[in-house]
Amino acid sequence: MNLSINLNKIALIRNARGQDQPNIENFALSAVKLGVDGLTLHPRPDLRHATPDDVSKLREICEKHTKELNIEGNPFSQKTQDYPGFLEIIKSNPPFQVTLVPDENNQLTSDHGWDSKYLNSKFFSLIEEHTPTETKFVSIFVDHNFSALNDIKGTIINSIEIYTGPLAKAVEENNKKQLTSIQLAISKLVEDAKSAKLKVNAGHDLNLDNLKFLKECAEIDEVSIGHSLIVDALKYGFDATILKYINAVKGYGYY
């Protein structure tokens, strides 16, 4: 399983002072040199954290160090005075992977996957028209009970990312019944997605405590982790935390 780390929170802290500390490039380089498989950013229209300029900087780092850049966002996010629009961002800086999320502009964080009613021919045509040829994977953010895999067969979508917020909550609340139900649903979704030749990613609220419960479900190709990693970095230090997450994701058995 690969680990991509989301650096939005580094950008958020930086933006709070309007300067360039902490420097997102320095943290990206540290993570890359320590062995993460990729870097993730989710530049939102309000520019609360990651910016289009950050995307450009991290793309250079990933290209230089042969790492995978994943850019998340809503394809319907339109251009504003300071935001060029999500599709323009990925056009200007083609990432290795694009993850499409259904977030509203005023949404605090990603908290649900795509409703299948939006996954129509108009949606797929829009994505196909604006996805750079250099981008290898186009992923959609889905809930663990997503049941519309047939709707994406034969389209540009070749990957899914499973929203793991409910799994994390069940672990935190020690709700074993709910956890078992979610794990079974994830296992089924992964099995079906793999049968459809789709890459399977997962992310949101994953941490050192609940990663093992996700790994029990099935073979996930990649996890993207940001908020919890930065929270842990406040306790252990950034570099030590990166190593803890690499060990937890890769299954080395110690962290």
Considering the candidates 49, 68, 161, 204, report the single residue annotated as catalytic: 204
Which of 49, 68, 72, 161 is an active site residue? 72
- Is 21 strand, coil or helix? coil
Residue with tokens 């409910």: 166
CA dihedral sign, ordered 217, 219, 222, 228:
positive
**Residue 130 known to be catalytic:** no
Shortest CA distance to 72 belongs to which of 101, 51, 96, 37?
A: 101
Residue type at position 219:
E
Residue with tokens 């309000």: 46
Per-residue three-class SS string for 199-224: EEEEECCCCCCCHHHHHCCCCCCEEE
Is residue 65 part of the annotated active site? The answer reads no
Smallest CA-to-CA distance from 88 within 71, 67, 112 is with 71
Torsional sign, CA 55, 56, 59, 65: negative
C-alpha to C-alpha distance for 66 and 175, rounded to whole angstroms = 41
Q: Which two tokens stand for residue 205?
A: 């609220």
- Residue 126: CB atoms within 10 Å: 14
What residues are labeled active site?
42, 72, 204
